[in-house]
Every structure is written in C-alpha cells, then in structure tokens.
Amino acid sequence: MASTRKKKRSRKHASRKLTSKKRVRKNSSRKKVLKYRSLKRLFEWDILVIVFAIVLGVIAYCLHFCLHQRIPSYSDSAVAKHIVEEQRKSTNETKKAIVRRDTSDSMSTNKTNVSSSKRISSNLRLPSKNAQRSKEDKFPKHVRIRRFKQPQLVIVIDDVHTSKQLSQIEAIGYPVTPSIFPPYTLFPHTERLAKGLRHYMIHLPMESGSVKFNSQSYTLMRRFDSKQLESKIARLRRLFPHAKAINNHTGSRFTSDKAAMRRLYPVLRKYGFVFVDSRTSPHTKVASIVRSYGDDYLHRDIFIDNIRSVPAITAQLQKAVRIAIKRGYAIAIGHPYPETIEALRRAKGLLTQVKLRYMDEIYREEIMSNEE
C-alpha cells in the first residue's frame, strides 16, 4: 500500500512539473507575441511620422516657392528697360539712315536723265528684307500690258518646288516662267530656289473647295481680315525679295469672293506684286477688282496639260499660239509633269509664229505721281 501511495504522489508531482513547464512556455510565448506587436506598432508609427514630415516639408516648400516667386515684367525689370532703350536707339538710327538714303536718292535722280531713272526704277526698285519703300514706290503704280508688233506667248509652269524641276524648265531652251510654291511642310525652303533667278513667279495657295489643298501654311482663306492677309504677303516679300508677280494655286472660292479679293488686292499692290489670275473658277471676281484700281487684267488663257499626254499638250500649245495671234498675247499654264516638259522640248518648231516671253516682260508698271 505504501508503495502505491508513493507512486501516486510521484505521478502527481511529475504532472505538476509538466503543467508548470507548459505554463512557463505559454507565458514566454505570450510575452514574445506582445513584444512583437508593440515593436510592429512602434515601427508603423515611425513610418507614419516620417511620411507626414515629408508631406509637410513638400507643402512648406511649395508655399515658399509660390509666395516668394517673382514674375519679371517690362515695367519693373532693369534688363527689360535696357532692352527697350536699345530698341528705341536702333529705331531712331534706322529712321535717320532711311532719311539720308532718301535724300541721296533724290539728289542722284535729279542729276540723271529721264531714261536712266526709268531703267533704275524698273530694275532696282525692289523692296529689301528690312525696309521701308522709297519715295517713288509710294506713288501708285498701274499695270499696263505691253503692245508688240509680233504676237507674244507666255508659258508658266506652276507647282515648282524642287531644284530638279527648275533645272528641267531651264533646259527647255526658250523662255518659260517657273511659278514657285511658298515654303510648306514637305519642302520648307522653296525660297532658296529663287536665288539667282531673274524671271520667276510665286504660286500662292488660296482657299478652294478641297480641305486637302487648304492645309498648306501660306494658304489665304476668305475669313482672313486685312491684317492677316498683310502679314502673309509681307512674309512672302521677305522670302522672295525680287518676285514681281503672283498667281493663285487652286483658289476657286477665294477668287470668286469679291469681298476677299477687295481686301487682298490693295495689299498685293502695296508690296509690289502683280496678280495673275489662274482662272480656277468661272465665277472669278478678280477682273472687276483689278480694273477698279485702273490696272490691266492679267489672266490665264489656257491650261496645256489637263490631259497628260504629249500629243494633247502639243494641241493645247497650238491653241495658245492661235489666241496670241488673234489678241496679241496669250498666257498658257502647265505643270512640271514629265509629259509637259517633253512636249515643250519638242514644241520649239511649233512656236515660231510667236515671240516667247517671260511673265514680267509682257507688262509694265506706270507710276502715277498725280494721284494720292
């Protein structure tokens, strides 16, 4: 009996030891979990504090930048004042230079005879890139078609925009006037083609019924007011300082709009351009506007390459010759197609009945000094 009691006591004691060990383990694991949670909370709070501090710093920097940023203006900037003063000085100097040039020109023209003054005005009176026009150019000029004993024929090639096309035209062997496109997206430097050329025109895009053709940068639209038109024409004059004539590329809607042409034509006269109507519309109003200014009406008589074949182009050239014989002159317009160039090369023998001229050779500009 005693041994059994001892065994029971030892078993109870062992079980108590086990339970105490389990309790210790549980307590230690709970302590670890609590410690981990407390550390995690502290870490999260640290991150929040750091993020909050960064946000506050950014906000403070933005506020400082907005409050203390100073926008310079011409009224309160010393540098701007200096620039304005320099511009005033330069404009005064240019005005003085223009006055000196005008006085010297007037003295020299008084000394020369009438024939030499006419020659100088026809060859040298061209507006430069910077400049105001001379005293003679301020008088209105009237365009007059020249009268010749022999019939005259002018052949114009439109849409010129590459040096290859220009060299092909020059290789034809007789006078053919190239009409050069203003710069546009695909060919941004077409004005360089005119350097060194004596006889050429500007092929100016005008509003038509096609959205595709109206997308070029220099296209004149009917909605443009006089200032917008003048800015375009003034830029053309700077790009092509020696150009004398302009003809329209497309432009059926613009040329048939009398109000638009009434705004454009005085601007062209102001910058020394003669307008040649390509007659892309049967309802063109150019003739009435031109004649209201006392100018002769220059216009296309025939397109030579609506049908792109050498025989058809040759037949159109023969029609142009007949028009020139009947009226005294004719203006034919073509394009730089291979068929057109080939037909013109072969047509030299067909054109013996007319005198071939450049566009600027069939008219003259008369200065009317008695007008205001």
Q: Where are the domains of the chain?
A: 1-67, 143-367
Q: How far is CA 162 from CA 45, 184, 197, in A?
A: 73, 12, 14
For position 231, what pLDDT does the model report? 97
Tell which residue, 241, 23, 218, 210, has the closest CA to residue 127. 241
Q: How far is CA 164 from CA 160, 167, 171, 195, 341, in A?
A: 9, 5, 11, 15, 12
For position 41, what pLDDT does the model report? 72
Distance CA 153, CA 158 (A): 16
Helical H runs in 151-204? Answer: 163-170
**pTM of this prediction?**
0.64
For position 45, what pLDDT does the model report? 75
**Count of beta carbons in the 10 Å neighbourhood of residue 122:** 11
- The residue type of 361 is E
**Count of beta carbons in the 10 Å neighbourhood of residue 41:** 10
Digit-coded pLDDT (tens) for 146-179:
999 999 999 999 999 999 999 999 999 999 999 9
Distance CA 41, CA 359 (A): 92
For position 46, what pLDDT does the model report? 76
Task: Tell me the DSSP string of 66-132.
Answer: HHH-----TTT-HHHHHHHHHHHHHHHHHHHHHHHHHHHHHHHHHHS-HHHHHHHHHHT----SS--
Q: How many CA atoms lie within 13 A of 147 on its CB side?
A: 1
For the chain, the first-to-last Cα distance in angstroms comes to: 152
Q: How far is CA 99 from CA 96, 103, 138, 345, 346, in A?
A: 5, 6, 15, 51, 54
For the chain, how many helices (H) and strands (E)? 11, 11
Digit-coded pLDDT (tens) for 207-216:
999 888 888 8
Mean pLDDT per segment of 10 residues, for the chain of length 372 residues? 64 62 64 68 77 84 56 39 50 51 46 40 39 44 92 98 97 97 95 96 96 88 97 97 97 97 97 97 97 97 97 98 97 98 96 97 79 40
For position 101, what pLDDT does the model report? 47
Which residues on neighbouring strands pair with residue 245, listed in sequence order? 201, 274
Residue linked to tokens 């890139």: 129
- The domain made up of 143-367 has a fold known as TIM Barrel (3.20.20)
For position 14, what pLDDT does the model report? 63
